[in-house]
Amino acid sequence: MSNKLIETESPKATRLSRRELLGFAAKGAASVLVSQSVLASCAAAGTNSTDTTGTTSSGGATIPATGSSTCVLTASLTEGPFFVDEKLNRSDIRTDPVSGAVSAGIPLALTFNVSRVAGSACTPLIGAYLDVWHCDAAGVYSDVSSSSRKFLRGYQITDANGVAAFTTIYPGWYSGRAVHIHFKLRLYAGSTRTYEFTSQFFFDDSLTDLVYTQSPYSSRGSRDIRNANDGIYNSLSTTEKAGLTLQTSKTSDGYAGIINLGVNVA
C-alpha cells in the first residue's frame, strides 16, 4: 500500500466552517510521508527550464519532444485540497458552469502525455481519465464547503496518442504552499475503477515571479512559500522534482506547459 504526503497547510477556501478549519490544522500537524509509486516520467533527460522570452533558440527553453523511452519512477503526492468528483468532462476549465464567470488570470495551455510503462519502453495510454484542479489567482478553490462554484476543475480522456489537454490559468498561491496544480489519473473497466494515481506538479519560481508582477496576481503581495521551502516539494528527489516541475514555453497570450507521465498498469 503506497503512502501519501500530507498537505501541511490549508488554502484559502470559500465559507469554511470552524470545524473544517480545525480539521485542516490537525492535518498540518501530521508527519509528511513520501512513497514510491508506479507513476513514471517519460520526459527526455535533462532539467526543466522556463522560457520567459518567447523564443525557441538558445535564449529560451522549448517544450521537449515527447516519445522518449527513458521511464523514470517518481513519487506519488497527496491529493490535497480539494478533490471533488464532479465529472466535468471539459478541456477549458476556466469557466464556472454555474454562473458562467471566467476565472481571471494568465492563460495556461496544459498538456499531459500519458504513457504505459513496460520495462524501459513507454507507449501511449489510451482512454485514461485525467482530472485537474487548482486554486484561482486569489488562492481560492471552488466547490468546497457550501460553495456551488466549479471553476478550475475538469477531466479529459487521453486520446490515441495518450494526450489530455486543458486550457486554464496560471494558479495563484495560498499560505504555506508553493504554487502547484493537482491531478488524478484513473482507469475504468465499465463502471469499475481499476487504477488510480494522484499527484501534483510545480512551477519554476522564476516564472512565477514574472507572472505575479501582472494583474490579477500583483494585488496580493508576495507569496510566503517558494519551492525550496515547500515540504511536499522537498520530499522529492532531484529527479522526481524535475519530473513534476512543469516544462513551459511562452505563447502569444500566456504560457504552454507539458507534463510527461507514465504508469505501470498491471
- The yes-or-no verdict on residue 53 having pLDDT over 60 is no
Amino acid 152: pLDDT? 97
- With cut-offs at 50, 70 and 90, classify the pLDDT of residue 241: very high
Place of cell 517518481: 74
Higher local confidence (pLDDT), 105 or 39? 105
Highest mean pLDDT among 21-30, 103-112, 144-153: 103-112
Amino acid 75: pLDDT? 60
Question: Which residues neighbour 243 within 8 Å (Cβ) at sequence distance 6 or greater?
Answer: 41, 43, 72, 74, 260
Count of CB atoms within 10 A of residue 209's CB?
A: 13
Q: Among residues 94, 147, 154, which one has the least CA distance to residue 130? A: 154
- The yes-or-no verdict on residue 81 having pLDDT over 90 is no
Buried b / exposed e over 104-115, threshold 16 CB at 10 Å, is ebbebbbbbbbb
Amino acid 1: pLDDT? 41
- With cut-offs at 50, 70 and 90, classify the pLDDT of residue 265: confident
Cis peptide before 82 (omega within 30 of 0): yes
Provide the 8-state DSSP code for 217. Answer: G
216: exposed, middle or buried (C-beta count within 10 Å: 0-12, 13-18, 19+)? middle
Question: Which residues neighbour 58 within 8 Å (Cβ) at sequence distance 6 or greater?
Answer: none
Amino acid 263: pLDDT? 81
Amino acid 198: pLDDT? 92
Instruction: Tell me if 126 sits within 8 A of 158, measured CB to CB.
Output: yes
- With cut-offs at 50, 70 and 90, classify the pLDDT of residue 171: very high
Place of cell 512559500: 225
User: Which whole number is the average pLDDT over 111-119?
Assistant: 88
How many percent of the chain have pLDDT more than 90? 59
CA angle 97, 101, 104 (to 5 degrees): 125
